[in-house]
């Protein structure tokens, strides 16, 4: 994630909330990426490994929240609002990425839950390893787009009332 993104300040409540969640997502994925880099694709972690007790639960919770709350909020509330302002194109692009992230993220969650409960086999670890790396690429690229294009657009387009309404809808979706 570019350093500029990490230091952004937002006047919009909605942009601040989304930014904070993006930073949480990136932090979880950075820990996952570091853990994956330490391991070989052919060497699954054991049940007593910190990967199993710390990283997997965080990944499951974060990815589930991302695809079942964050994306739903954006698609239900935010993208239609952008469309009203004549800026629906970015919503269409981001919604397309949501579809790909949902597909990959759902598979990663499924493999992670099975591993949390029963450990990894060599085959399930290989699948998880490849899909988790794919998920990292998708999400980091997606977050960068939202940080560099979507959030500044919200700053420009939303008046105080619309911002407050969206922020309340966002908080209710969590």
Segment 74-97 mean pLDDT: 95
User: Tens of pLDDT along 91-110?
Assistant: 999 999 999 999 999 999 99
Segment 42-56 mean pLDDT: 88
Residue 8 is predicted with a pLDDT of 62
For the chain, domains (ranges, CATH) are 12-40+47-173 (1.20.120.520)
Reported for 3-11, long-range contacts at CB under 8 A and 24+ positions apart, including other chains, are 5/143, 5/144, 5/147, 5/148, 8/147, 8/151, 10/151, 10/154, 10/155, 11/155
pTM, 2 dp: 0.90
């Amino acid at each position: 994630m570019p350093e500029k993104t990490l230091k952004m300040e937002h006047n919009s409540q909605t942009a601040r909330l989304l930014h904070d969640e993006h930073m949480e997502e990136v932090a979880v994925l950075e820990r996952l990426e570091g853990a994956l880099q330490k391991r070989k694709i052919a060497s699954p972690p054991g049940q007593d490994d910190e990967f199993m007790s710390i990283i997997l639960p965080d990944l499951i919770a974060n990815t589930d929240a991302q695809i079942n709350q964050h994306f739903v909020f954006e698609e239900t509330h935010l993208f239609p609002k952008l469309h009203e302002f004549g800026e629906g194109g970015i919503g269409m692009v981001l919604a397309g990425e949501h579809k790909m992230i949902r597909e990959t993220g759902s598979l990663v969650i499924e493999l992670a839950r099975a591993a949390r409960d029963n450990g990894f086999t060599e085959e399930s670890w290989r699948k998880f390893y490849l899909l988790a790396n794919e998920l990292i690429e998708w999400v980091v690229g997606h977050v960068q787009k939202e940080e560099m294009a979507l959030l500044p657009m919200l700053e420009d387009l939303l008046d105080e009332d619309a911002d407050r309404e969206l922020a309340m809808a966002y908080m209710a979706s969590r």
